[in-house]
Amino acid sequence: MASSSISPPSFIILLLYTLLFALPSTSYPLQNICRQTKNRIFCFKLLRPHPNASLQELNQIVIDTAILSVTKTASKIQSLLSKTEDPNLKIVYMLCSNYYSAALSALNAGKDKLKSGEYDDLNGAASTVSRDASSCQQIFTIVPSQPIPIASDNNDLDLLSNVFAVVSRLLSGSI
């Protein structure tokens, strides 16, 4: 007599497969996001604490982190500006202060667009933030012999804006 039963190992595999693919998920695989960024390690460090977050939640986390970064760096720039006597450095710090103000405005606009579901407009905010970080970095060529005290801050903001851009593209469906 032939048996039509499934062996226990096959049943377990079938059960796991069914559970894995049948349960709805609102999270997005972090590796799919981070492999599209400039710096995967930076991206994973940023997003790893939130493995079950939706794309909207991840973008909110990235925006909030970038706002904190911009605010901290803007304060640092103001402190450097008040301490320098070099007129060229004063110009550089004033310009960087303007760039960081623009980045903060773009991030706040991005936060509003995210809340209202206007995902197609998020890329513009991410591009503005990246451009402002790069512009601040490049303006230091006015004083080439000086070390750049906010170089790592500019780099971090550029990497944050890159993650912001990738998640925004995923949200808008353009990736």
CATH code at position 62:
1.20.140.40
* Domain residue limits at 35: 27-172
- Residue 28: what pLDDT? 76
- Residue 144: what pLDDT? 81
Question: Of 15-19, 27-31, 33-37, 171-175, which gets the smallest average pLDDT?
Answer: 15-19
Domain count within the chain: 1
Tell me how far CA of residue 155 lies from CA of 70, 73, 87, 92, 150, in angstroms: 12, 11, 25, 17, 9
In this prediction, residues 15-22 reach a mean pLDDT of 43
Tell me how far CA of residue 4 lies from CA of 7, 11, 125, 139, in angstroms: 9, 12, 60, 75
* C-beta separation of 69 from 156 below 8 A: yes
Residue 10 — very low, low, confident or very high, per pLDDT cuts 50/70/90? low
pTM beyond cutoff 0.75: yes
d(C-alpha 171, C-alpha 175), whole Å: 9
Residue 145 lies in a domain: yes
Residue 14 lies in a domain: no
Percent of the chain surpassing pLDDT 70: 83
Residue 65 lies in a domain: yes
Residue 20 lies in a domain: no
Residue 68 lies in a domain: yes
**What confidence tens digit (pLDDT) does each residue in 68-95 have?**
999 999 999 999 999 999 999 999 999 9
